[in-house]
Every structure is written in C-alpha cells, then in structure tokens.
Amino acid sequence: MSVMQFFNLQLLLIGLIFLFSCNNLKRTKMTSQKKNLHCDINTGVCSSLPQDFKVDFGQFQASDKVKIIYFTDPICSACWAIEPQLRKFKFEYGQYFDLEYRLGGLLPSWDVLAQRGGGIRKPEDVAPHWEHMGKMSGMSMDGDIWYEDPLDSSYPPSLAYKAALNQGKEAALLFMRKMRELLFLEGKNITHEVVLLQAAKNADLDEEQWLKDYKSKEVQQQLEEDLTLGASMSVRGFPSFYFVDAKGNYKLLYGVQSYENFEKQLLACLEPTQAVLKNTFKGQPLDLFNCYSLLNSKELQYLTNWKEAELNTYLSGQVAEEKLIRKPYKFGDFYELNCKE
C-alpha cells in the first residue's frame, strides 16, 4: 500500500469513526443549527449561538509566529496515530509556530454519539477500528478495552487535561501523553479518577492541586469554552489543525496528515522573505530519551530520520546492553531508559 493510499484510508476511517458534528437532540434541526452552536458540557447538546457570532482568527495570533489551533480529544485514536509526525514537526519547526491545544468533546455520551451517526453506536463498534489504526500507523492501540471496560465519555479526561493546564502548558501536554499511554497501550479506562491520578503522578503533577482543579467549576467552564469554540469553527472531527498566518488568514488540515503536509502548510503561512532554518537531529537515538520518557520505533524513526533496519539494529543493541528497556505492546514495541538505581 502506498503512503498516499494509507493516508486516504485513515481519513476515511476517521470520518466513519469520529464524525463530530455538534447538533441538538432533534435530528430534524441539524441543518439549520449546525453553523451557529453553543455546546453544553453536561449534556453534549449544542444550541444556537447568537446570529452575529463570528470567529476572529486574528485573535489567535502570537507575535510573529504562526498560530496553530489543534482540536483534539484524549481518546482520539487518530490523534494518537499522528504523534510521530507531530513530534517531528515540533522538533524541527517549533520555533516558528505556537501550537494551542483545544478539546472538542469526541464522546459526550453513547446516547448522543449514536444520534450523530457515522457508524459508531456502541463501544464494541470502536474496537476493530482501533485495532486497524494501531496496525497501520505503527502506534499500538488495544481495542479490547471497548469490550472489557468501555469508556462512557471523553469529558472526564478532557476536564483532567484542563485541570493540568493550571500547572503549566508543558506539564499539561505531558499529562495528555501519559493519559493516552495508559489508555492506548495499557488498556486503562481514563474516565476513572484513580487512573487519572496515576497519569498525574506519571506526569509529575502536584496531584492534590490537580484533583482540586479537576473538580472545580472554573475548569468545567474552560472545557465548555473549547466546545463552543470548536462548534463556531465548524470542527467536524479530530484531529483538526487551523493554521493562522500574520494577517488572520487560516487553513484547515483535517485528519491524519503526513509530515510533509504539516511542513508545507507552515511554510505557506510564513512571510515569503522570512529565512527558515529547521532543526535537524544529529545525535544518537538514545539521546532522545532525555526529552521523551517513552518512544516507539516509529517515533524514533521520524525524529532521527534513520532507516528502519538501521534503527531496529541500534535499538536491539541498546536493549542488549541494558541501556534501554523494550516494552512490548499489542502492535509494536515501545522503549524507555533503563534507569538503574
């Protein structure tokens, strides 16, 4: 299968799996209401926004950098699948853009999701799509959770991420990663408070402060604001990336994207006269574990630009020398440093 066929297939799957269209519970009103919506975090229902409501993309500008608004969800399999591309993009061009994470409410409840359509009506419908995505993307994900301990909503982990933001952007991004590792790799239900606390611990958050924020009305309001923003920007699925240039012009990239598409869109948003020098990794793969605690071969391949066979030989050697620990999962191995005491 060619790279283009792979990405086209993923886009099709995302459309079927995670079709996201804010609407009220009366399907007959979907067409008239879908452009002007306000989402209720408690019900997952969206109602009309004021008629004069309009998104000013200029508000998202961050000095001379390109602004990228990333609509995601903690349980979005496609968002997990693009981690290698996104990590490479941040590493090579991060100095030229400001990436802002926003949450979109992928799964308010199964009753709401069933009414949205898209072929997903119950937890068991998700499992085979996760399995396929895990195999195809190289980012393992275990669909068994949808049979054994299915999530009933993505709002708890979304609120959890918003709570983590009170401890800093980088801390919250690490927390998001740790939630996804527990979900996709370990098969842990991240709607459970005890699992979310484990993610907070893994991300070195102040757990007491995080728990207090997680249960606060302020964090709930912040999530509701994200849902409303997504509805007003016609976000229909995840991942969705809005690239906003210095003049407030924007371009949407939706679904699983190749690294080249991220790169191309960023360069198109920069001033033609601006000199662009991307970072290139010049070290050994082992050096990357000083920045990332857990990586799989696909992520390492993207970040290092090493060939697959060469990288696999290197990783096997590092495991044999007990510098790395190989952690096998359903559809591939991940690696972490062997931190001996």
Q: What string of pLDDT tens digits covers the 341 residues of the chain?
A: 444 444 444 444 444 333 333 333 233 233 333 334 444 544 444 444 444 445 666 566 656 789 999 999 999 999 999 999 999 999 999 999 999 999 999 999 998 877 776 678 899 999 999 999 999 999 999 999 999 999 999 999 999 999 999 999 999 999 999 999 999 999 999 999 999 999 999 999 999 999 999 999 999 999 999 999 998 888 888 999 999 998 888 899 998 999 999 999 999 999 888 889 999 999 999 999 999 999 999 999 999 999 999 999 999 999 999 999 999 999 999 999 998 64
Write down the residue that tokens 């998700």 correspond to: 126
Regarding whether 166 and 40 lie in a shared domain, the answer is: yes
- On whether the CB atoms of residues 315 and 304 are closer than 8 A, the answer is no
Exposed, middle or buried by CB within 10 Å (0-12, 13-18, 19+), for 125? middle
Quote the pLDDT of residue 24. Answer: 31
Regarding whether 231 and 151 lie in a shared domain, the answer is: yes
How many structural domains are present in the chain? Answer: 2
Strand partners, 70: 101, 241
Residues spanned by the domain of 46: 3-240
Residue 289 located in a structural domain: yes
Regarding whether 328 and 207 lie in a shared domain, the answer is: no
Report d(CA 105, CA 20) in Å as an integer: 9
Regarding whether 141 and 88 lie in a shared domain, the answer is: yes
Regarding whether 306 and 235 lie in a shared domain, the answer is: no
Regarding whether 133 and 22 lie in a shared domain, the answer is: yes
Q: Write the CATH number for 306.
A: 1.10.10
| Last residue of one domain, picked from the residues 181, 214, 240 | 240
Quote the pLDDT of residue 59. Answer: 62
CB atoms within 10 A of CB 220: 17
Regarding whether 187 and 40 lie in a shared domain, the answer is: yes
Residue 181 located in a structural domain: yes
Regarding whether 149 and 11 lie in a shared domain, the answer is: yes
CB atoms within 10 A of CB 277: 9
Report phi then psi at 336, rounded to 5.
-145, 160
Report d(CA 325, CA 334) in Å as an integer: 8
Report d(CA 213, CA 162) in Å as an integer: 8
Kindly state the helix (H) or strand (E) to which residue 282 belongs, with its residue range. none
Which of 177, 127, 120, 129 is closest to 147 using CA atoms? Answer: 127
Strand partners, 253: 241
CB atoms within 10 A of CB 291: 10
Name, in order, each residue with C-beta under 8 angstroms of 254's C-beta and a sequence gap of 6 or more. Answer: 11, 236, 237, 239, 240, 241
CA distances from 106 to 92, 103, 240, 299 (A): 30, 8, 12, 25
- On whether the CB atoms of residues 324 and 314 are closer than 8 A, the answer is no
Quote the pLDDT of residue 91. Answer: 96
Residue 44 located in a structural domain: yes
CB atoms within 10 A of CB 269: 21
Quote the pLDDT of residue 53. Answer: 45
Q: What is the dihedral of CA 181, 185, 191, 194, to 10 degrees?
A: -80
Name, in order, each residue with C-beta under 8 angstroms of 293's C-beta and a sequence gap of 6 or more. Answer: 336, 337
CA 54 to chain centroid, in Å, comes to 26
Residue 261 located in a structural domain: no
Quote the pLDDT of residue 64. Answer: 78
Residue 248 located in a structural domain: no
CA 260 to chain centroid, in Å, comes to 18
Regarding whether 322 and 228 lie in a shared domain, the answer is: no
Quote the pLDDT of residue 142. Answer: 94
Quote the pLDDT of residue 26. Answer: 30
- On whether the CB atoms of residues 99 and 68 are closer than 8 A, the answer is yes
Residue 252 located in a structural domain: no
CB atoms within 10 A of CB 203: 22
